[in-house]
Chains A and B, each alone.
Chain A
Amino acid sequence: MTQPFRLPGVGRLDAGKPLAFTFDGKSYTGREGDTLASALLANGVHLVGRSFKYHRPRGFLSAGPEEPNALVGIHRDAARKTPNVRATVQELYDGLAAVSQNRWPSLAFDIGAISDLNAPLFSAGFYYKTFKWPRAAWDRLYEPAIRRAAGLGNAPDKPDPDHYANRFAHCDVLVIGAGPAGLAAALAACETGARVILADEQPVPGGRLRFEADARIEGKSGWDWAEETVARLAARDNVRVLTRTTGFGYYAQNMIGLVERVTDHLANPDPNAPRERLWQVRAKRVVLATGAIERHMVFPDNDRPGIMLASSARTYLNHFGVAVGNRIAVYAAEDSAYAAAIDLKKHGVGIAAIIDSRAAPESPAVEEARALGIDVLAGHAVIGTDGRLRVRRVHVAPISGGPHREFQVDALLTSSGWTPAVHLFSQSRGKLAFDEATQRFLPGLYVQDAVSVGSCNGTFDLASSVNEAFDAGAKVAKEAGFRKPRARQMEASSGTPWSIGMAGASPGVEPGTSKMAFVDFQNDVTAKDIRQAVREGMRSIEHVKRFTTTGMATDQGKTSNLHGLAIASQMLGKPIPEVGLTTFRPPYTPVTFGALVGHSRGRLFEPTRRTPTHDWAKAQGAVFEDVGQWKRARYFPQVGEDMHAAVARESRTVRETAGIFDASTLGKIEVVGPDAARFMELMYTNPWAKLGVGRCRYGIMLREDGFIYDDGVVGRIAEDRFHVTTTTGGAPRVLHHMEDYLQTEFPDLKVWLTSTSEQWAVIAVQGPRSREIIAPFVEGIDISDEAMPHMSVREGRVCGVPARLFRISFTGERGFEINVPADYGLSVWKSIWAEGQKHGACAYGTETMHVLRAEKGFIIVGQETDGTVTPDDAGLSWAIGRKKADFVGIRGLRRPDLVAEGRKQLVGLKTVDPQIVLDEGAQIVADPDQPVPMKMIGHVTSSYWSSNCGRSIALALIENGRARMGERLYVPMPDEMVEAEVTSTIFFDEKGERLHG
């Protein structure tokens, strides 16, 4: 028979077409609207998981997100495997395939359960006390074994084909939780015209009304009222209702993280639908209507499959139409659990007994239970249970002593009371207050613009709850700037009130007992473990938690934290608030990484910046390198060339004829205004005032501490206009640095800064034939050596478009850099390239650029410098304006250790064997025979094979380097000691004749 525990005509699900699903390969059917849990229970399946440490068989504790036990893997396909899914949350869809976890070889027979037999050995904190000998065994033996035993499900092993989305949203009132209180608050707020977002984690709103079948609101059944209210809200323009959406994090200034599960409940989702969507909501006011979570009783062997929270059994019955057993007992310390027995009894399910640990419970519920003929055992405790894979027998005894009794059951419902769900309130950094009378932590001091309503605020009574919420909804809308709606009294009632209950170990689980009474199911923490932790000196609840791991499982202690705290408090003889409450850390329930990542994956992980010639270079077979977010062509290999060969050819070609290089990524800043030169004087070490219009200068920028921050060539376009270039990676920070000084230190200067990095495409043409190559395209500029010497800049036209032409060189050859508006870059490049071909020129990439500049001893900021190098260290003292009274870095430069003897200075390094190319980053020693640790006197900053020099070349920062010219030093490599000689930093054309020749 299919779904034998589904009661005909009971519940709210449509009995139409059944949905097929499998669990551990076995086929079952369920209904539209089922969770995996309700569908399994309809089929009489309780055993769904194994616990973390002892691998004990476990069933469903709850019907919601607080579930500690029923974690399964959901396998949609080979790449869509999700571990640790709560079966009580996962909605059923046709074809769903679920597997149990943390068991081998099977759920019913799990070898790992052997640790259950040895449980006393694995008491709290046992691993701190052993596995220390022999030393090596921890890494090789013990730890791998512990790791294999730990963990729950298996991580996916393939890239996730699903996608995720993000949405920033703003509203006046955000209501979290669409139970009766949340609905009432949203109703009141929306009527004022305020923008309202209402979010609920369930597929259908209603909250407690899911199980409180006897609730009535405004003359209707509670459930009907909820459905109608949601429909009314959703129909309004100013309300957004988000279902399957969990408020998981409450951040500063009323920023709330919500996660919406969009497709996990669908058999065939729209491929364009994101699997989940993150909502980052900024709300003027937040209404927390997050409800309360029922606690279990902490009694011996309280963890067998079939032992379940009372309200959850009621949810399965009243919402899903499922009886969780045929013969059921209830063990409680409060009233609301009676309703479960009453509802089940009314639907013909056998109730073995209600065991109530209170001596003389008084409530209409007690009377009603008795009137229905249910055996109510007040002042009794459950002292044990039997049943390996399902609870089968309950042992009961009077608390005051007396004969034991046994009940044959197939389910046991428990409740010790309700814990207000104050997680989000606490995350908002509100202060909780412990209410002694009701033994609850309740919202106390608010630090953000929020309000709690209903049971999360401790208001358990339904009528009080909806009215409190309605008033609060109206009030916060008014605070958000809207007119308050008319006050209104909502009429509501529910059958069984929620009473106070108890926290901590149940009677019979006193200190000294050897029984396993679980506090935290998933992490297998018992009352005994918590007591042991206290005995070992763990006095803070944080220590207890960390020592025992209570509350640290995937349910984050939703059902267990208060129990743990109560047991510790009893052991310490201190009241609960003095022992403390562990912090509620986000997220409320686990959040998929993908949802937090959203669109930022793959191509959209980060912007990829490409120059105007990128596609051309790619078509030419260029190999690219990442420089910051830019892709730069590194070299252009011809058929059969590796990087070495390509670079050798490119660098020879540049010096023999010419090369064309895309320098577009260089940062560019236009400095404009009558005080432009004064500003440049302050920002760069060099003097600028006398730089003529049309002239260029190499500038060095320091930080205030005197270390090199950036460099680049600066051209003076007009008296009041400089064209500043920066390093590629430095562009944004240099502009920020300049703006900082301009706006805050020198605000009186009349000058403005504008980034023009992307206005200009920059085509460098370098080499003896460079002038001939560009000549046919240049209009309005005399590019003869006389008219346009090295380090000059002119405005004119190139290829018919406006251009800034620089006569500058980073290669030591005659060179030009053509700046044209970026959209023309490709076209101009192609023209130059075609002309260059006639002269035998080549395109070259960053690697050749690096080699050529190293041959000339030019530094690269970030390679020769690392934030600890001064201009003098880099051999650039000449670039400091000696007569200047001020520039950024002037004082930092003069600090004692920056002018001390023995600083590392940039020098050249030639290996004695010219064929050896040193490793960049290799360290240098003076004495090759010393033992480790060796005294290192410097390191290689740049090193290349120079085909132009016919040998390897290197630059290095070496202690007192300039005083060591000609000295032999050593570079110890793993397999050899390389000998090298200190030289000038200039390896090629020492006199610089080629610039003009």
Chain B
Amino acid sequence: MLLIHCPYCEEERPEAEFRHAGEAHIARPQNIAEISDEEFERYFFIRSNPKGLVFERWRHIHGCARFFNAARDTVSDRFLKTYKAGEPKPALDGEG
């Protein structure tokens, strides 16, 4: 069970309170009704699935109930940073 720093609760909480919510920084196209099949595929299905630094969404569903973002290393499972939804992607280097 991971320990996750919730940027809204401002403390680390056990993973049991959280729900993972997929890759972060994939914005729903503003003009979604007009995009091509390829663009829709990229938006909805294609995932970077990196070995190393991933930007991902979590929801503190059994806590403050907020969605937020995290930068985590998928090899060590270590969190590098968590930050509020809507904040820009931070510049970070993966741990390897």
* B2 sits at the interface (CB 8 A): yes
Tell whether, in the assembled complex, residue B1 and residue A891 are in contact, meaning their CB atoms are under 8 Å apart: no
Tell whether, in the assembled complex, residue A743 and residue B1 are in contact, meaning their CB atoms are under 8 Å apart: no
Tell whether, in the assembled complex, residue A891 and residue B35 are in contact, meaning their CB atoms are under 8 Å apart: yes
Per-residue A-contact encoding for B30-62, CB less than 8 Å = 1, 0 else: 001101010010001000000000000101010
Tell whether, in the assembled complex, residue B1 and residue A895 are in contact, meaning their CB atoms are under 8 Å apart: no
Which single residue of chain A is at the shortest CB-CB distance from B37?
A: A895
Residues of A within 8 A of B35 (CB): 891
* B88 sits at the interface (CB 8 A): no
**Residue among B19, B44, B61, B78 with the highest chain A CB neighbour number at 10 A:** B44
Q: How far is the CB of B52 from chain A (nearest CB, A)?
A: 15
Tell whether, in the assembled complex, residue A740 and residue B59 are in contact, meaning their CB atoms are under 8 Å apart: yes
Total A-B residue pairs with C-beta atoms closer than 8 Å? 55
Which single residue of chain A is at the shortest CB-CB distance from B39?
A: A891
Per-residue A-contact encoding for B14-31, CB less than 8 Å = 1, 0 else: 100001010000011000
* A447 sits at the interface (CB 8 A): yes
Q: Which of A186-194, A249-257, A765-773 contacts B (4 or more CB under 8 A)?
A: A249-257
* B3 sits at the interface (CB 8 A): yes
Residues of B within 8 A of A280 (CB): 1
Tell whether, in the assembled complex, residue A429 and residue B33 are in contact, meaning their CB atoms are under 8 Å apart: no
Tell whether, in the assembled complex, residue B32 and residue A886 are in contact, meaning their CB atoms are under 8 Å apart: yes
Residues of A within 8 A of B67 (CB): 739-740, 743-744
Tell whether, in the assembled complex, residue A705 and residue B44 are in contact, meaning their CB atoms are under 8 Å apart: yes
Tell whether, in the assembled complex, residue A736 and residue B85 are in contact, meaning their CB atoms are under 8 Å apart: no
Q: Given A447-B76, A747-B85, A892 and B59 touching (CB < 8 A)?
A: no
Q: How far is the CB of A87 from chain B (nearest CB, A)?
A: 34
Mark out the residues of chain B between 61 and 96 whose CB falls within 8 Å of any chain A CB in the assembled complex.
61, 65-67, 76-78, 85-86
Determine which of A255, A740, A885, A890 lies in contact with B1 in the assembled complex, contact meaning CB atoms within 8 Å. A255
Q: How far is the CA of A447 from the CA of B77 in the complex (A)?
A: 11
Determine which of B14, B44, B65, B76 lies in contact with A704 in the assembled complex, contact meaning CB atoms within 8 Å. B44
* A314 sits at the interface (CB 8 A): no
Q: How far is the CB of B25 from chain A (nearest CB, A)?
A: 10
Chain B: number of interface residues, binned into ranges: 20 to 34
Tell whether, in the assembled complex, residue B33 and residue A736 are in contact, meaning their CB atoms are under 8 Å apart: no
Q: How far is the CA of A886 from the CA of B33 in the complex (A)?
A: 7
Determine which of A251, A282, A747 lies in contact with B86 in the assembled complex, contact meaning CB atoms within 8 Å. A747
* A931 sits at the interface (CB 8 A): no
Residues of A within 8 A of B14 (CB): 168, 282
Q: How far is the CB of A822 from chain B (nearest CB, A)?
A: 21
Residues of A within 8 A of B32 (CB): 886, 890-891
Which single residue of chain A is at the shortest CB-CB distance from B77?
A: A252
Q: How far is the CB of A387 from chain B (nearest CB, A)?
A: 51
Tell whether, in the assembled complex, residue A743 and residue B85 are in contact, meaning their CB atoms are under 8 Å apart: yes
Residues of B within 8 A of A890 (CB): 32-33
* A974 sits at the interface (CB 8 A): no
* A745 sits at the interface (CB 8 A): yes
Mark out the residues of chain A between 676 and 719 whose CB falls within 8 Å of any chain B CB in the assembled complex.
704-705
* A896 sits at the interface (CB 8 A): yes
Residues of B within 8 A of A885 (CB): 33
Per-residue B-contact encoding for A721-747, CB less than 8 Å = 1, 0 else: 000000000000000100110011101
Tell whether, in the assembled complex, residue B33 and residue A892 are in contact, meaning their CB atoms are under 8 Å apart: no
Q: How far is the CB of A231 from chain B (nearest CB, A)?
A: 33
Residues of A within 8 A of B57 (CB): 744
Provide the main secondary structure of the chain A interface: mixed
Q: How far is the CA of A447 from the CA of B1 in the complex (A)?
A: 16
Q: How far is the CA of A446 from the CA of B40 in the complex (A)?
A: 44
Q: How far is the CB of B77 from chain A (nearest CB, A)?
A: 5
Residues of B within 8 A of A282 (CB): 3, 14
Q: How far is the CB of B20 from chain A (nearest CB, A)?
A: 12
Residues of B within 8 A of A895 (CB): 37, 40
Q: How far is the CA of A251 from the CA of B35 in the complex (A)?
A: 44
Residues of A within 8 A of B66 (CB): 743
**Residue among A744, A885, A892 with the highest chain B CB neighbour number at 10 A:** A744
Q: How far is the CA of A744 from the CA of B40 in the complex (A)?
A: 18
Q: How far is the CA of A530 from the CA of B49 in the complex (A)?
A: 40
Residues of A within 8 A of B1 (CB): 251-252, 255, 280
Determine which of B28, B44, B61, B77 lies in contact with A736 in the assembled complex, contact meaning CB atoms within 8 Å. B61
Q: Given A253-B2, A744-B67, A890-B33, A429 and B76 touching (CB < 8 A)?
A: yes
Q: How far is the CA of A745 from the CA of B35 in the complex (A)?
A: 17
Tell whether, in the assembled complex, residue A740 and residue B40 are in contact, meaning their CB atoms are under 8 Å apart: no
Q: How far is the CA of A736 from the CA of B57 in the complex (A)?
A: 13
Residues of A within 8 A of B19 (CB): 736
Tell whether, in the assembled complex, residue A891 and residue B33 are in contact, meaning their CB atoms are under 8 Å apart: yes
Which single residue of chain B is at the shortest CB-CB distance from A885?
A: B33
Q: How far is the CA of A280 from the CA of B57 in the complex (A)?
A: 26
Which single residue of chain B is at the shortest CB-CB distance from A746?
A: B28
Per-residue B-contact encoding for A517-543, CB less than 8 Å = 1, 0 else: 000000000000000000000000000
Determine which of A447, A736, A891 lies in contact with B59 in the assembled complex, contact meaning CB atoms within 8 Å. A736
Q: How far is the CA of A740 from the CA of B67 in the complex (A)?
A: 7
Q: How far is the CA of A892 from the CA of B33 in the complex (A)?
A: 9
**Residue among B32, B40, B57 with the highest chain A CB neighbour number at 10 A:** B32
Residues of A within 8 A of B85 (CB): 743-744, 747
Tell whether, in the assembled complex, residue A892 and residue B44 are in contact, meaning their CB atoms are under 8 Å apart: yes
Q: How far is the CA of A598 from the CA of B79 in the complex (A)?
A: 29
Tell whether, in the assembled complex, residue B40 and residue A252 are in contact, meaning their CB atoms are under 8 Å apart: no
Q: How far is the CA of A764 from the CA of B65 in the complex (A)?
A: 32
Q: How far is the CB of A747 from chain B (nearest CB, A)?
A: 6
Which single residue of chain A is at the shortest CB-CB distance from B86?
A: A747
Q: How far is the CA of A747 from the CA of B33 in the complex (A)?
A: 20
Tell whether, in the assembled complex, residue A253 and residue B3 are in contact, meaning their CB atoms are under 8 Å apart: yes
Q: How far is the CA of A743 from the CA of B8 in the complex (A)?
A: 13
Which single residue of chain B is at the shortest CB-CB distance from A251?
A: B1
Q: How far is the CA of A943 from the CA of B59 in the complex (A)?
A: 40
Q: How far is the CA of A878 from the CA of B32 in the complex (A)?
A: 22
Q: How far is the CB of B81 from chain A (nearest CB, A)?
A: 15
Residues of A within 8 A of B21 (CB): 740
Q: Given A429-B76, A736-B19, A892 and B3 touching (CB < 8 A)?
A: no
Q: How far is the CA of A704 from the CA of B22 in the complex (A)?
A: 14
Which single residue of chain A is at the shortest CB-CB distance from B1?
A: A255
Per-residue B-contact encoding for A5-37, CB less than 8 Å = 1, 0 else: 000000000000000000000000000000000
Tell whether, in the assembled complex, residue A745 and residue B28 are in contact, meaning their CB atoms are under 8 Å apart: yes
Residues of B within 8 A of A894 (CB): 33
Residues of A within 8 A of B28 (CB): 704, 745
Q: How far is the CA of A743 from the CA of B57 in the complex (A)?
A: 12
Which single residue of chain A is at the shortest CB-CB distance from B19?
A: A736
Q: How far is the CB of B36 from chain A (nearest CB, A)?
A: 10
Q: How far is the CA of A476 from the CA of B21 in the complex (A)?
A: 35
Q: How far is the CA of A310 from the CA of B57 in the complex (A)?
A: 56
20 contacts between A and B (CB under 8 A): A251-B1, A252-B1, A252-B2, A255-B3, A280-B1, A447-B76, A736-B61, A739-B59, A739-B67, A744-B57, A744-B86, A747-B85, A747-B86, A886-B33, A890-B32, A890-B33, A891-B33, A891-B35, A891-B40, A892-B40
B binding-site residues for A, Cβ under 8 Å: 1-3, 14, 19, 21, 27-28, 32-33, 35, 37, 40, 44, 57, 59, 61, 65-67, 76-78, 85-86
What 4 pairs between A and B have smallest CB-CB spacing? A253-B3, A743-B67, A891-B32, A745-B28
Beyond contacts A704-B28, A739-B65, A743-B66: 9 other A-B pairs, Cβ-Cβ < 8 A, are: A252-B77, A253-B3, A253-B78, A739-B59, A739-B67, A740-B59, A744-B85, A886-B33, A891-B40
